[in-house]
Chain A
Amino acid sequence: MSSGTPAVVVDRLTKRFDEFTAVDGITLTIGRGEVVGFIGPNGAGKSTTLRMLCGLLTPTAGQATVAGYDVAREPEKVRQNIGYMSQKFSLYGDLTVRENLRFFAGIYRVRREDLGSRMDFAIRMAGLEGREDVQVTTLAGGWKQRLALGCAILHRPPILFLDEPTSGVEPEARRRFWDLIHDLAADGVTILVSTHYMDEAEYCNRIALINQGRLIALGTPRELKGSRLGGQLVEIACAPLGKALARMSAAPGVLDAAIFGDKLHVVMAEGGLDLAGLRQALADGGIQVGEARAVRPSLEDVFVRIVTRKQDAPGAAA
């Protein structure tokens, strides 16, 4: 990979399974050393996209290059430049920590003089010192995931594809995992990591929101939160929520309304109702209203807002 070319270039990449379009014309460029978060709900098409980028699935249309190599035409060249963690845990459970590492080191032909130090590094990184000879199946989720990452980077790949590496892992272990990702990025590794945890978006340089196979937004977390909502976000404690949602969705000047936990999030257009008007509108509908206040939007708000807007106006540009 020459220094000028981007690490990953995705151009109108599409994957259809029979009639069903799992990935629908995604276009994206990732620079070297960038950490890009691939965020979307289950079934959005994240895994399918990552698999195409690893050369494991053949694109139906469009193309992609990874480390300068076309994923459909030169998958083996691509594979020499990537590390991949599939969504399902995929180390050998009946092998020990060290045996797994040695296996992947052999597969990746890690030079013998580097073998010891690389394996030690991976063991330390995973926090598995002293447990090198434990069968992997007995490890808890966080350790397994860090070991899987260790196996995927034994050969020092310039590009990493991580598919939901933190799913099903307890919060503390998730944070540790993201620290590892940033350490790698600091060394110049390009990382595309998928997750369905919106809160993890904050850890990424850029995020790509993906829904129903389409890229619906792309930018830094700040950009997305700042510019994408198109109005003021208000959080209202009220009950019953379902009734409130129906009333708010129909209210004038309300761009969007959605349930967030036990509260209602409402996006209000500039110059529409104010807070007092909003409370009044709810109270008129026989809804108990508690606290209502303007809040800073989270990425989840942005995501919901973009998804609804798309559904309201099909064909609107992302």
Chain B
Amino acid sequence: MNARRVRAIAFKEALQVWRDPRSLAVALLMPFMQLILLGYGVSLDIKHVPLCVYDQEMSQQSRTVVDGFLSSGWFSLARALPNEAAIRTAMNRDQCSAVLVIPADFSRRLAMTGRATVQGIFDATDVNTTNIAMGYAEGATARLASEFESKYAAAHGVEPSAVGSVDLEPSTWFNETLDSRNFIIPGVVAVILALVGAQLTSLTISREWERGTMEQLISTPVTTLELMAGKLIPYFAIGLIDAAFCLGAAIFWFKVPFRGDLFTLFVTTALFILVVLGFGYLISVRVRSQLGASQIALLVTLLPTTLLSGYTFPIDQMPAPIRAISLVVYARYYVSILRGLFLKGSGLAGLAVPFAGLCVSALVILWLAARAFHKRLD
């Protein structure tokens, strides 16, 4: 690897990005727009999610549950439903985005075992809203759970801690206030960096093929590693700028509390950027048109990253096969790291597992990217 050649390529690439409106837009405008879209999409609220209630029990206890949901301010009562069939009708007619079903034996189970479940049905047409509503419902049930728990403990004369979980719902594992914004914004940052990073480099090799400059370039003694390094360096700098922008916006604009340390944030972010750039580069090597490469980059990062990174859908609630697939969705590691850093203030040691995942992703992707390119036309 010759530093002179790497520098020549990096410099050339930087000039080209600087002079290409499309690349500049992807580099600087896209993160901003996505931040507004995704960041505000989730936090411009979405209070008072319309809720229908089908209370099969109609007891004191069940009313407490309904009140618990409504008093949270997250839900407002749309209708009380008389029977099972009414659920479908209400959903079909868009009368509500969520239905709370309280089973007929709710109080009995609660009294006997200290455990009971309520059912939540969500209109999944709007994935984003659904996720937030699900988060809200989890929060509401978690509050109720602890209420019932102390009551049960008092009634049975046991210490609350000895009762075990009165799990109306598995207690949520993120911030206590259940502020969906705090939970989702770090995920949004990860998603944006994954999208933008792959977009940036997806153009870099395909541009040379499309403009016919590649044939000249590969007739020179430049090595594939020098080419990759030279091409990634300017985008790495852009990626760091984008990351600083997104993380800064998360902390100062969206006011998500940051409890971790900056060093860990920097190291993991740099590593993640390397992974996403490497991935875009890999696509660029494989697809020889710029349009094709950028569309494929969008397709293969957008869906897996939004669906399987845990950014909105908790991974541990996915079916096992999907969970297995999510292992290769490298954004999930950065999502966990960011959540750990923001919400829990974890250090590198506490983030060992996702950090290892990120390291492995980086190794695999950069190895594949380095091997993918051949200085040949056939």
Interface residues of A (CB under 8 A from B): 51, 54-58, 75-76, 79-80, 82, 84-86, 88-95, 99, 102-109, 148, 151
Contacts and interface: CB of A to CB of B under 8 A. Distances in A.
Interface in B1-55: 2, 4-5, 7-9, 11-12, 15-16, 19-20
Interface stretch (B95-103, B215-223, B281-289): B215-223
B212 A107 contact: no
A80 B221 contact: yes
Contacts of B378: 57-58
Nearest to A96: B15
Given A91-B213, A107-B5, A109-B2, A86 B15 contact: no
Contact of B376 (A58, A93, A94, A106): A58
A107 B216 CA distance: 11
B218 A94 contact: no
B377 interface: yes
B375 interface: yes
Contacts of B11: 103, 106
B64 to A, nearest CB: 68
B20 A108 contact: no
A108 B221 contact: yes
A107 B220 contact: yes
B5 A88 contact: no
Contact of A54 (B5, B212, B219, B223): B219
Contacts of B12: 92, 95, 99, 103
B211 interface: yes
Contacts, number: 85
28 contacts: A51-B215, A55-B219, A56-B219, A56-B376, A57-B376, A57-B377, A75-B375, A76-B223, A79-B221, A86-B215, A86-B219, A88-B215, A89-B212, A90-B211, A92-B12, A92-B213, A94-B19, A95-B12, A99-B15, A102-B8, A103-B8, A103-B12, A104-B220, A106-B8, A106-B11, A107-B8, A109-B4, A151-B216
The 4 closest A-B pairs by CB, nearest first: A106-B8, A90-B216, A84-B219, A88-B212
B221 A94 contact: no
B220 to A, nearest CB: 5
Contacts of B19: 94
Contacts of A90: 211-217
Given A92-B12, A103-B12, 12 more contacts: A56-B375, A57-B376, A90-B214, A92-B16, A95-B15, A95-B16, A103-B9, A106-B4, A106-B11, A107-B222, A108-B221, A148-B216
Interface string B218-242: 1111110000000000000000000
Interface string B296-311: 0000000000000000
Contacts of B375: 55-56, 75
A103 B15 CA distance: 11
Given A56-B377, A92-B12, A86 B212 contact: yes
A57 B375 CA distance: 9
A85 B212 CA distance: 12
Nearest to B214: A90
Interface string B251-286: 000000000000000000000000000000000000
A54 B377 CA distance: 11
A54 B218 CA distance: 9
A190 to B, nearest CB: 16
B221 A93 contact: no
A86 B219 CA distance: 9
A60 to B, nearest CB: 10
Interface string B353-378: 00000000000000000000001111
B356 to A, nearest CB: 36
A80 B222 CA distance: 9
A88 B11 CA distance: 24
A93 B4 CA distance: 22
Given A92-B12, A95-B15, A108 B220 contact: yes
A19 B7 CA distance: 43
Contact of B219 (A79, A92, A105, A109): A79
Interface in B134-164: none
B9 A107 contact: yes
Nearest to B18: A94
A223 B376 CA distance: 37
Contacts of B217: 90, 107
Q: Taking each of A51, A57, A86, A102, which has the highest tally of chain B beta carbons within 10 Å of its own beta carbon?
A: A86
A244 B229 CA distance: 65
Contacts of A109: 2, 4-5
Nearest to A84: B219
A82 B219 contact: yes
B226 to A, nearest CB: 9
A283 to B, nearest CB: 54
Given A56-B377, A57-B376, A57-B377, A84 B216 contact: yes
A236 to B, nearest CB: 44
Contacts of B16: 92, 94-95
Interface string B198-222: 0000000000000111111111111
Contacts of A106: 4-5, 7-9, 11
A109 B5 CA distance: 7
A82 B7 CA distance: 22
Contacts of B5: 106-107, 109
A161 to B, nearest CB: 8
A305 B261 CA distance: 81
B376 A76 contact: no
A148 B378 CA distance: 24
A82 B222 CA distance: 13
